[in-house]
Structure formats: C-alpha cells, structure tokens
Structure 1
Amino acid sequence: MAAVPAPERGLTMPGDTSWFMRDRFGMFIHWGLYALPARGEWVRTTEGLSDVDYQRYFDRFDPDLYDPAQWAANARAAGVRYVVITAKHHDGFCLWDSAQTDFKSTNTPCREDLLRSFVDAFRAEGLRVGFYYSLLDWHHPDFPVDAYHPLGGGVAKRMIEGMGEEFSFETLAALPEDIRKRNEDRDIRVYAAYVRAQVRELLTGYGRIDVMWFDFSYPGAGGLPGKGKDDWESARLLELTRELAPHVIVNDRLDLPADHADVHTPEQVVPKEWVRVDGTPVVWEACHTFSGSWGYHRDEASWKSPQQLVRLLVETVACGGNLLMNVGPTGRGTFDRRALDALACYGDWLRLHGRAIYDCTASELTPPADCRYTQRGDRLYLHVFAWPCGELSLGEAAGRVAYAQLLDDASEVPLVDSGRALKLPVRRPDVLVPVVELFLRTDAP
C-alpha cells in the first residue's frame, strides 16, 4: 500500500529535486512592460507592435507600488513554497541590471534592479527562488524574425488566434522584403552568446537560485521554420548552467533529449496520470493561470472558480506532480484583487489540508468515483469532489484502514461494513474540497 515512488532520473548532473517533490506548490510570476498595455504578455506579437510602438511602455514603466515583501507575504499566506519570476520574457525586457543590454528596468523611470529586492524579500519569507528566462527575445538585434516575432507579418497572430489557416514555407517567404533583408544581418550565434552571458549573470549575481525555467523551443511552428537546440546552442547553455549551479533544477524546454531535464512541464493541462516520457515516469510540474493570460490582463473574465483552483492542485499532486500557479502583477506593481482572492482560496484550504499536499504523492490505490488520493507513508488522503449522501465505499482500500477522520477538524469518520466503507456526515464540511485522512493498517498486505 505504498505511495508511488519517485521516478528515477538519468542525468549525469541532475538538479536537486528532493525539496521540489516535497514542496509541491509554487507561484509563477509573469511581470514586465506588458503589464502596462494590460492585454497579456504576447501583446507585441498579437498586435504586431514594433520596437518604436513598444517603447512607450518602456518610457512609462514605473511600478511605484511595488513591494516585494508584500508579494512574498501573499505567497507565504497562500501556502506557496517556491516562486519562479520572469527575469526576462519574450519581449526581451530584463527585470535586473544586466550588463548585456540597455533594455532593462534600471533604465526605466523606476530605476531599480527589481530582481534584487525580489530575491531578498522572498528569501526572507523562507521561500525558494527560481528564474524564468525566455529563449526568445524580440528586442535583440541579432534575434532572427520568425513566425512568432512581432515583425513576422502577422503569421504568429493568426496562429495564436486559431484561425485555422494553412501555413507553409511560402507564407514565410511572403514576408515583407525589408524584414527578410533584416534577417540577413542577424546572427543567431551572437544572440546565443548573449543568452549565456545573461544566464551567467543570473546564476552568479543573486545567491543560490533553485530553478532555471527556460522557455521555449519551437523547431517548427505551424509548418514554419522555428528555433531549437541548434539556435540556442542548448548543450553549451545547459553545460554552463550545470557548471555554475550543479544543484539547480532545469526544465525540459531547451529542445534537448528528455534525460537532460530535471523536471518536465506540461502547460495549461491536467494530466490524468503520472507524466511519462518514453514510458518512464518523470519529475513533473504543471503550470497554470488563474485566467487565460500569464501577464496582467485587465479585461479578462475567464477566471477559475475557487473549487477549480483547489481541485487543480489536488489533481496534480494525486498524479505525482507539482503545481506552479501564475500571478500577473499590475503595471503599478501590485497583485490585483482577483489574484489576491484566488491566492486566499489556496491559503484558506491549505491551512487545514496542507498535510494532504506537502510531501505527498500519487497512491498505488485507485480512489472511489469522484475522489482523488494523495499519500504520504501510511497516511492516505481521500479528497472528495462530489459529497455522497451516507456511506462511501473505499474500494481498493477496503479493510486496509485502521482509523479515519475529517482533516479539517480531526473529527472521526466511522468505518462501517467491516471496514469496507466510510460513514460520512450528512452535511458536507464547509471547505472547498473535503479531505478524509485515512490511517492505513501497518499490518495490511
């Protein structure tokens, strides 16, 4: 009746995922110039904005209410154990004082290395810190125009909006003549060296960094030429990362073989079982948004309900994974009310049910219908999505439970039918997802 064991990893120099698989719940933060248009982090591409168009946000980026200590307190109150922030997103804007570029926060009206105060504040709250680093850079002069680039003739906009058009190499060849000529003077090798220089800054200038979250590779994009391991010189980039920080966790988006990644990162999906690569279970982390966008989007209305948010965490851990839940701060440097309310849902629930999540994993036992199991040693946690009236059959756990209680108040749940079922109270506990803590018999087969 053991929990499913952690998967074996085949890396020569694997990152330290021991803490990662205990902590289970992280916060993603997407923040940058795109908070000002407030239409999502891909606004440069979706609206085809040139460098000149985008400059107006750089000239006015002044998050005067930015308080990283408050962000860290919000994260801690929500039950978050680690955080990953966008040091640089696809637009190329850097939140730190990089020596490699002028396109950085210290040159905006805010005049601040935003990563410095961020790292200090989150570490002070006892949270682990990771950096997201975009492999794309729509601002860099040596980054070639491609299907996702804002200067790509609207190709990416049509792809993102899902218009269902057929794309081909001829589509790319039809880009305006001045753009194709501009690519002739762009050298991806120069850009790859720039990436390594910035990663060196991030891994040597801010103390111990626990996660490097690279994003993303696209060797082919809708049938169009893209960029992958050869463009990023991924092998050299990973070698540098391992050299500077052997402990750091590296994700799977460098377009390298699967066994080069410490963690695999399905996005905006809810796996139904432990994630596998070539049939082998791997360490994994699902990243999700509260609504549809990663960056702040003022007018977005598709926010998940409190029940959906908690169920997402439960379903992820029940399949042996971590959840990285995203917040997109505003242009003034605050978490807006919708984000704070969503975080409070997690905090309130985890305060009572945290031991059914932290240091837990998938169980070998199949749960009853409309339920999920998480497990830690001889504690089996039954997350009840649909509250039944009366008894709940334990299925595969029948006869294996020595004692049962509701986790929110430690009130006993009687075992009935010779230990094959639970006698639940008629009234559902007033929590987003009720959990029954099952103490397994240590003498069970």
Structure 2
Amino acid sequence: MTQQASPQGLTWFQDARFGMFIHWGLYSILGKHEWVMHTDRIPVPEYEKLMAQFNPTKFDADAWVRTAADVGQKYIIITSRHHDGFSMYDTALSDYKVTNTPFRRDPIAELADACARHGVKLGFYVSLLDWHHPAYRFRAESGLAWEDYLAFLHGQVRELCTQYGEIVAIWFDGDWPRHPITPENEYFLPGGSFEYEKLYDMIHELQPDAVIENNRHVKPLPGEDIQGFEQDLPGENTTGFNETTIYGLPIQVCMTINDHWGWSRNDRNTKSARRLVHVLVKSASVGGNLLLNVGPTPEGEIPPLHQERLREVGRWLERNGESVYRTRAGVIPPTRETVSTVRDGHHFVHVLDYVSDCVILSGVPAHVQKARHVASGQELEMEREGANFFVSAASDRTTIYIPPELRDPYDTVIELM
C-alpha cells in the first residue's frame, strides 16, 4: 500500500511557500548549463576528465544557507545527482562522485550541518536517468540489466534518506516517455519501470515528513505528495512540460532566475525582482510554493546578481511576508491586476499592477469590513456595494483606495478583515 507524507510534513511544506533550488555539478565548470554533456555530445571518457578540475575553493555552505534564510527561503533542494550521473555527495555506490575530485569534501554533508544551524530544511533532487551509469546507458556493452540500475537508484535514495538527518523533500526528474534507440536520442535509452511504489514507500518509511515530487508526470502517481510545474504557473503552460490541470495535490512551481538551471556564464537574461515577487505570490494564490533556482559557479559561489535579486525579494517579504507564509489559495476571484491568498480567515489582496487610483474586486466575503495596508499597518478607505454583513453572501463590488505613497513598485498587499 503506497503511503503519503505525514500530515504534519505536508502542512509544514505548504506553510513554507518559498524555497531555494540549487543546480551544481561538473557541468558548472564548462559554464554552459547542466545539459552540456548532451547538447555538446561529449563522450563519457571526455566528460569524466572534468572530475580532475572540480575544486570549488570558495564554497561556503554556511554562506549559502545564510543567504536562503536571510531572504526568507525556508528550505533548500540541491541536485544530489543530475542527468550526467555525477554524484554530489559521498555515495558508497559509485566512484564517480565529488569526494574523488581535488575538492574531496562532501558539500551536501556541510549543507546539512549549516541548515540545522540556521533552521532551514534540506531536500534532494534525484535524476531518474543517468547518462554515465553502464546499466542505464550501456547495457548491451556492459552485460548489466535494468535491475542493476534500479538497485543503484534505489540505493542512492536510501543513502540520501539515512545519511543527512531529517529531510524535507525528494524531487525526482527524468521520467520521460520511452524513445527508440537512435543516434539522436542515445542519451534517452528505453528502460523499464522505476518501481515507484517500492521507491516511494521506502522514502515515506525512512522520512515520514518528507514530500515526494516527480516533475515529469502529467498526472501524479500514488505516493506523490506534490504536483510540479516548471518555469510556468498553473494555467500558463508556457514551456510545454506540464499540464495546466491541478490534480488535487499541493503544487510547487520551480523557476530559474535567468534562463538556465546550472551555471551559464553568458546567460544575462536575469528576471527582475518584481517578476520574481509576482511568481511567488501567484504561486501562493493557487496554493503553491515557489522553488527558485540558483546555479553556483565552479568556484562554489552563488552569482552576485542572483544573490541581489534574492535579497530584493527578501526585502519585500520582510514587509509583506504574512501574506505569503502559512497562507492557502485565495477565494477572492483574481483580476488582471490582483490575486489573493488567505490565512486564518484573513484575506490578502496582492495588487500587482495599477490601472486606476482604486482597486475594484468582486466576490469578497461578506464578513469583510476593514482594509489594511500590510506594510505600513495603515487602514485604507473601502466601499462595498451589495454586501450583506448578516449573511454569508459575497459582495458584488468592493472598491479600495490606495494612496500613491503607499503603492509598492512590486506588489502592494491589502489585508481584508
């Protein structure tokens, strides 16, 4: 019988609302994003040579976790192994790992210690496919079977669930439709079942509070706790990776700060802090988290511009965090300019754009009698038409006036109570 995450684990995850995604590995050395082995058709022996160059002398786990904590990110999910097959922790199941590089240290162990110090939770990205493992990509030549790869995959997940203390999530990636074997898709060879029921039950038994997300399913499977959206919000479907339907599960939107997940030295298409705040609150407005990615450099630093964008979002959260953390999907219908969240009966309207000197809403619950500007605490002028404060009917029209000096350039938040 496939289990689910514990109610307290799922509640904590939904309350957190904002996390840091980290893509870091051998590909960072090349500075051309995490798919470079595939896009540049790099043979395994050539790609393996990057191990001798991996020595991030500026890596500071405490600095990474402090950044996340300072900007209001409640958890971190880092790539334990990406599609290139290189393990970023001290696995006992492969020699193709970070502790066999000149760096020699286990960065995930150091991150786990730093997370414990700063009250941030840690989780792991796990690639289901592996461009390096002989039982995945080279079965014909190696004489290995699909079951050999399954033992490796399940064994690594067991290590992650038992070696680093309490974890918040396991985030799976790479279960795409099967492809015929051709030179063009040699990196996506057909395989068998990943035996999800066994895999998920093992995670839930070892880490009862951890949530499971598999980012490549159209419809979540039994045992999965979170539905993922990549680079878009539910209903937008701008990337083509995800269905727009929400299947009754809490959601998580993962997004890059520029165009790539791994370090890309020539990628200057950095999103504005305003855009990132909007993605955060739009995610929260439909009951979702935002997992915002950084791609550290080969030296082990989070790019300074990405840190600054994160800190801008953090400064907005310092003023308006009560409208994001511990909230659930809003019940006030969104407009072109607004979305909403709700917490403990208090409704938060996020004004993302201005087309006039007032905000006009419909469907505001009838019990609402006051409006407050969250950042300043100042009461706002509000008019209601058609509201009946003695029954549970919704108002037809609610108008709120926001003085120009109180308008936030990213998102002005109004509490209705």
* CA distance 1:279–1:40, change in 2 (3 Å): closer
Matched-pair contact (CA < 8 Å) for 2:78–2:124: yes
- C-alpha deviation, 1:221, in angstroms: 4.8
2:273 aligns with 306
1:66 aligns with 59
* Whole-angstrom distance in 1 between the partners of 2:5 and 2:276: 31
Matched-pair contact (CA < 8 Å) for 2:2–2:222: yes
* Whole-angstrom distance in 2 between the partners of 1:279 and 1:271: 7
Q: Match for 2:152 among 184, 190, 194? A: 194
Q: Match for 2:309 among 342, 345, 353? A: 342
Structure 1 runs of 4+ with >4 Å offset: 221-229, 253-257, 275-280
- C-alpha deviation, 1:402, in angstroms: 1.7
1:379-421 CA-to-partner distances (Å, cap 9, x unmatched) read: 1111111124323223222754221121111122111356831
1:176 aligns with none
Structure 2 unaligned residues grouped into runs of 5+: 237-241, 388-397
1:161 aligns with none
* CA distance 1:410–1:139, change in 2 (3 Å): same
Q: Match for 1:426 among 401, 404, 412? A: 404
Secondary structure in structure 1 of the residue aligned to 2:270:
coil
2:394 aligns with none
Q: List aligned pairs for 1:44-193, cutoff 5 A.
A: 44-144=37-137, 182=141, 185-193=143-151
2:300 aligns with 333
TM-score with structure 2 setting the length: 0.87
* Whole-angstrom distance in 1 between the partners of 2:344 and 2:374: 16
- C-alpha deviation, 1:265, in angstroms: 0.8
Give me the CA root mean square deviation: 2.6
* Whole-angstrom distance in 1 between the partners of 2:119 and 2:66: 10
Tell me: higher relative CO, structure 1 or 2? Use CA pairs within 8 A at least 6 residues apart: 1
2:173 paired with 1:215: yes
Identity of aligned residues (%): 32
* Whole-angstrom distance in 2 between the partners of 1:430 and 1:254: 36
Secondary structure in structure 2 of the residue aligned to 1:55:
helix
* Whole-angstrom distance in 2 between the partners of 1:295 and 1:377: 39
1:269 aligns with 232
1:317 aligns with 284
Matched residue type, 1:250: I
1:83-103 CA-to-partner distances (Å, cap 9, x unmatched) read: 101111111111211111111
1:352-382 CA-to-partner distances (Å, cap 9, x unmatched) read: 0100000111122213441111111221111
* CA distance 1:236–1:12, change in 2 (3 Å): closer
* Whole-angstrom distance in 1 between the partners of 2:358 and 2:259: 39
- C-alpha deviation, 1:55, in angstroms: 2.6
* CA distance 1:260–1:223, change in 2 (3 Å): farther
2:3 paired with 1:40: no
* Whole-angstrom distance in 2 between the partners of 1:11 and 1:26: 27
- C-alpha deviation, 1:123, in angstroms: 1.8
Q: How many residues align?
A: 394
1:235-262 CA-to-partner distances (Å, cap 9, x unmatched) read: 3322322332233211135869623211
* Whole-angstrom distance in 1 between the partners of 2:37 and 2:336: 45
2:373 paired with 1:406: yes
2:250 paired with 1:286: no
* Whole-angstrom distance in 1 between the partners of 2:265 and 2:293: 15
1:168 aligns with none
Matched residue type, 1:422: I
TM-score with structure 1 setting the length: 0.82
Secondary structure in structure 2 of the residue aligned to 1:287:
strand
